[in-house]
Amino acid sequence: MNEWEGFGADAHRYLDGEPFEELSGAELAAADRLAAEARDWAGRLPRLDPALDEAVMAAVRERAPARRRRGLGWLVAPQTVRFRPIWVPVLAAAAALVLWLAPRGRRAEVVLTPVRAVSDTVFVRFELAAPLARTVSVAGSFNGWQVGALTMIRDARGVWTATAPLPVGEHRYEFVIDGTRWVPDPTAHAEVDDGFGGRNSVIVVGPKGLVRS
Amino acid sequence: MQPSDGTVVHRVLSGDVEQYRILVERYRAEFGRYAVASVGDLDAAQDAMQEAFIRAFDALATCRDPDRFGAWFFRILTNQCRNVLARRRDTVPLEEVDPPGGARADEGLERGELGAALEAAMARLTPEQREAFVMKHVDGRSYEEMAELLGVGVDALKMRVHRARDALRSLMGALR
Amino acid sequence: MTRMHRTAIAVALLLAPAALAAQGAGIEDRLQARGLPAALAHRVAAVAADATARGVPDGPLADKAIEGWAKQVPPDRIVAAVQRFADQMASARDAVLSAGVPSPTGPVIAAAAEAMRSGMRPEQVRSVVQAAGQGAIAAPGLSVAAALQAQGLGSDQAVKIVVGAMHSHRSMSELLDLPSVAHMMHDQGMSPGDIEHRILDGEGGGGGDQGSGHTGEHDRPPTVPPGTRHDHDGHF
pLDDT tens for each residue of B29-51: 999 999 999 998 899 999 999 99
Number of domains in chain C: 2
Angle at A174 between CA A170 and CA A180, to 5 degrees: 155
Residue A120 contacts C, CB cutoff 8 Å: no
pLDDT digits (tens, 9 = 90+) for B77-111: 999 999 988 887 665 544 444 444 443 334 444 55
Asked if residue C67 is part of any domain, the answer here is: yes
pLDDT over 60 (residue B162): yes
> In a 3-state reduction of DSSP, which class is residue B20?
helix
Phi, psi of A171 (to 5 degrees): -135, 145
Distance from CA of A74 to the nearest CA of C (A): 25
Domain region containing A31: 9-44
C46 domain residue, yes or no: yes
Q: Same domain, yes or no, for C80 and C127?
A: no
What value does the mean pLDDT of chain C take?
80
pLDDT of residue A118: 43
- Say yes or no: C128 and C68 in one domain: no
Say whether both C82 and C112 belong to one domain: no
Predicted local distance difference test score (pLDDT) of residue B56: 97
Q: What is the DSSP string of A71-103?
A: GGGGGTS----SS-TTHHHHHHHHHHHHHHH-G
C119 with C170, same domain?
A: yes
Domains along chain B?
Answer: 1-91 (1.10.1740.10), 108-176 (1.10.10.10)
pLDDT of residue C158: 93
The CATH number covering residue A127 comes to: 2.60.40.10
Q: Is residue B69 within 8 angstroms of chain A, CB to CB?
A: no
User: Residues C80, C34: one domain?
Assistant: yes
CB-CB under 8 Å, C74 with B137: yes
Query: Is any Cβ of chain A less than 8 angstroms from the Cβ of B59?
Result: no
The answer to whether position C161 is within a domain reads yes
Give the residue numbers spanning the domain of C78.
15-97
**Number of separate domains in chain A:** 2
For residue A69, name the pLDDT band (cuts at 50, 70, 90): very low
Residue C155 lies in a domain: yes
Residues C57 and C127 in one domain: no
pLDDT for residue B111: 52
pLDDT tens digits, A155-212: 999 999 999 999 999 999 999 999 999 999 999 999 999 999 999 999 999 888 887 7
The answer on C129 and C55 residing in a single domain is: no
pLDDT at position B164 over 80:
yes
Decide if A139 touches C, using CB distance below 8 A: yes
Q: C173, A115: Cβ pair inside 8 Å?
A: yes
Q: Does residue A144 fall inside a structural domain? A: yes
Cβ(C76)–Cβ(B146) below 8 Å: no
The answer on C201 and C112 residing in a single domain is yes
Please indicate if any CB of chain C lies within 8 Å of the CB of A196. yes
Closest by Cβ to B28, choosing from A41, A48, A59: A48
Are both C87 and C124 inside the same structural domain?
Answer: no
- Tell me how far the alpha carbon of residue B146 is from its chain's centroid: 11
Chains linked to B by 3 or more Cβ pairs within 8 Å? A, C
Residue C225 has pLDDT above 80, yes or no: no
Which of chain A's residues have a Cβ under 8 Å away from the Cβ of B115? Answer: 37, 40-41, 44
Domain-embedded: residue C108: yes
Residue B6 has pLDDT above 90, yes or no: yes
Vertex C88, ends C82 and C90: CA angle to 5°?
A: 105
Least CB-CB distance to A94: which of C11, C60, C178? C11
Chains that touch A (3 or more CB pairs under 8 A): B, C
- Check whether A99 has a pLDDT greater than 60: no
Q: Has residue C65 been placed in a domain? A: yes
Q: Say what percent of chain C tops pLDDT 70.
A: 75
Q: What is the pLDDT of residues C62-110, one digit of tens each?
A: 999 999 999 999 999 999 999 999 999 999 999 999 999 989 999 999 9
The larger pLDDT score, comparing residue C18 to residue C157, is at C157
Residue C222 within any structural domain of the chain: no
- The residue out of C97, C116, C131 marking a domain boundary is C97
State the average pLDDT over residues C217-223.
45
Q: Is residue C72 located within the same domain as residue C132? A: no
- Give yes or no: residues C88 and C110 share one domain: no
In a domain, C9, yes or no: no
Between CA C10 and CA B76 the distance in angstroms is 41
pLDDT at C24 over 60: no
Phi, psi of A201 (to 5 degrees): -90, 145
Q: Which residues are CB-contacts of A71 (< 8 A; sequence separation ≥ 6)?
A: B15, B16
Which tens digits make up the pLDDT trace of B110-151?
A: 555 666 788 888 888 999 999 999 999 999 999 999 999 999
> How confident is residue C223, by pLDDT bands cut at 50, 70 and 90?
very low
Give the pLDDT score at C221.
Answer: 45
My answer on whether C143 and C189 are in the same domain is yes
The residues in A 50-109 lying below 8 A from C, measured between CB atoms, are 91, 94-95, 97-99, 101-102, 104-105, 107-109
* Residue A167 resides in a domain: yes
- Average pLDDT of C208-218? 41
From start to end of chain B, where are the E strands? none
CB nearest B139 (choices: C37, C78, C79): C37
